[in-house]
């Protein structure tokens, strides 16, 4: 495995800078997750590292070696796409063996067998190894695609929403497996997802992209607890952080440039013994969780309700904020 770095990387498509001046180093053995809404530049970041797109400016370095002009095959990266891309005429086994049988590698067949058997077992596809790739469910095909990447030991694994086509149970199982495999192999990984739980639980660090710019890079905890701007704060946390105008909390001491107050469940104390300005508008039962929708003037606040809550729709409650986050008029963080 190796350290992988993007240095002031820019890739344009016509007038659009899909990524603009992005610098990012994924340390050897590190698991970095890229977060951002559609069009933010996540896939482009992976593709320029893989060599599937050529940079307009900047450089890609793998293991300290500049590879910006090298063909994809020479870069020693393994790419798992959102949609499985298997060879339909080959068996599962031969699909997984394919990268190891390339003339440049010449891995002995017994080693290939050992490696495939082990990875297939981890991914629960060992009983399907002789099937044709087309005779699998979507979830199985995606596991084969992941397995085909894992049997190799490339400099870096690039994964673009590899679990998004799977059902929730399998996704959860594979999330744990993938993280364990990554740790065991000491693999360097750059991983794109829209799934907050994947980001929080798998990442050593999370990079947040906004219109092609890397706006913050930090541990999951830093991104969640210490976001640099509202854009970052809204990436993580369910229910989403509530962004409220400062005027709604006139008695709260706030930094002078603060215009917006960011309130998560843990920042909010609800006092039902005191009649207050907020009203319970709705209680949403999600099985293991309950979302409490409060209305405060013309704004709504969504928070988690404890299981022992005896609040009812229509109740009037007082709200108290404890160490909420403050943002200025441009959405940038302001510290007290």
Ligand X SMILES: Nc1ncnc2c1ncn2[C@@H]1O[C@H](COP(=O)(O)OP(=O)(O)OP(=O)(O)O)[C@@H](O)[C@H]1O
Check if the beta carbon of residue 21 is closer than 8 Å to that of residue 213. yes
| Contact range with ligand X by CB under 6 A, out of 41-49, 182-190, 236-244, 315-323 | 41-49
Burial class (CB in 10 A: 0-12, 13-18, 19+), 275: exposed
Residue whose CB is less far from ligand X, 52 or 321: 52
Which residues face 22 on adjacent strands?
9
Residue whose CB is less far from ligand X, 191 or 326: 191
41 near ligand X (CB under 6 A): yes
16 near ligand X (CB under 6 A): yes
176: Cβ contacts below 8 Å, ≥ 6 apart: none
333 near ligand X (CB under 6 A): no
| Contact range with ligand X by CB under 6 A, out of 36-44, 118-126, 279-287, 297-305 | 36-44
Burial class (CB in 10 A: 0-12, 13-18, 19+), 262: buried
Which residues face 7 on adjacent strands?
59
Binder among 2, 6, 40, 232 for ligand X (CB under 6 A): 40
| Contact range with ligand X by CB under 6 A, out of 13-21, 62-70, 127-135, 151-159 | 13-21
How many C-beta atoms lie closer than 10 Å to residue 282's C-beta? 12
Distance in Å, CB of 34 to ligand X, minimum: 8
Binder among 18, 48, 77, 123 for ligand X (CB under 6 A): 18
115 near ligand X (CB under 6 A): no
How many C-beta atoms lie closer than 10 Å to residue 193's C-beta? 23
Residue whose CB is less far from ligand X, 13 or 87: 13
Structure token digits, residue 187? 């693999």
Distance in Å, CB of 16 to ligand X, minimum: 5
Distance in Å, CB of 80 to ligand X, minimum: 14
Residue whose CB is less far from ligand X, 15 or 310: 15
| Apex 109 CA angle, 83 and 130, nearest 5 | 50
Q: Write phi, then psi, for 176 (nearest 5 degrees).
A: -65, -45
139 near ligand X (CB under 6 A): no
Q: In sequence order, which ranges of the chain are alpha helices (DSSP H)? A: 42-50, 92-97, 109-122, 138-150, 168-185, 196-202, 220-225, 230-233
Rounded to whole angstroms, the Cα distance separating 7 from 206 reads: 18
Distance in Å, CB of 123 to ligand X, minimum: 24
Distance in Å, CB of 183 to ligand X, minimum: 26
Q: Segment 42-71, which members bind ligand X (CB under 6 A)?
A: 42-44
Distance in Å, CB of 223 to ligand X, minimum: 17
Distance in Å, CB of 196 to ligand X, minimum: 14
Rounded to whole angstroms, the Cα distance separating 327 from 58 reads: 32
39 near ligand X (CB under 6 A): yes
Binding-site residue total for ligand X (CB under 6 A)?
Answer: 11
Chain positions contacting ligand X, by CB under 6 A: 13, 16, 18, 36, 38-44
């Amino acid at each position: 495995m190796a350290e992988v770095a993007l240095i002031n990387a820019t890739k344009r498509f016509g007038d659009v800078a899909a990524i603009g001046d992005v610098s990012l180093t994924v340390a050897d053995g590190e698991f970095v997750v890229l977060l951002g809404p559609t069009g933010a530049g996540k896939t482009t970041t992976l593709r320029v590292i893989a060599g599937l797109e050529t940079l307009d400016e900047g450089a890609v370095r793998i293991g300290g070696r500049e590879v910006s002009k090298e063909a994809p095959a020479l870069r020693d990266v393994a790419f798992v796409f959102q949609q499985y891309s298997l060879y339909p005429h080959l068996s599962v086994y031969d699909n997984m063996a394919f990268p190891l049988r390339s003339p440049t590698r010449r891995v002995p067949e017994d080693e290939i067998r050992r490696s495939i058997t082990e990875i297939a077992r981890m991914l629960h596809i060992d009983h399907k190894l002789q099937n044709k790739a087309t005779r699998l469910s979507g979830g199985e095909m995606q596991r084969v695609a992941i397995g085909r990447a894992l049997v190799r030991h490339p400099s870096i694994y690039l994964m673009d929403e590899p679990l998004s086509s799977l059902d929730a149970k399998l996704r959860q199982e594979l999330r744990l497996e993938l993280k364990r495999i990554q740790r065991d192999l000491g693999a360097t990984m750059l991983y794109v997802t829209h799934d907050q739980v994947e980001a929080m639980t798998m990442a050593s660090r999370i990079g947040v992209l906004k219109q092609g710019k890397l706006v913050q890079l930090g541990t999951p905890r830093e991104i969640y607890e210490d976001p640099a701007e509202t854009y970052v704060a809204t990436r993580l946390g369910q229910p989403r952080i509530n962004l409220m105008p400062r005027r709604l909390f006139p008695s709260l001491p706030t930094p002078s440039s603060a215009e917006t107050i960011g309130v998560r469940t843990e920042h909010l104390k609800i006092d039902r013994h005191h009649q207050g300005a907020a009203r319970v508008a709705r209680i949403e039962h999600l099985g293991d969780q309950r979302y409490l929708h409060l209305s405060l003037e013309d704004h709504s606040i969504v928070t988690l309700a404890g299981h022992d809550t005896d609040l009812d729709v229509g109740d009037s409650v007082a709200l108290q904020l404890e160490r909420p986050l403050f943002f200025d008029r441009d959405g940038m963080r302001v510290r007290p």
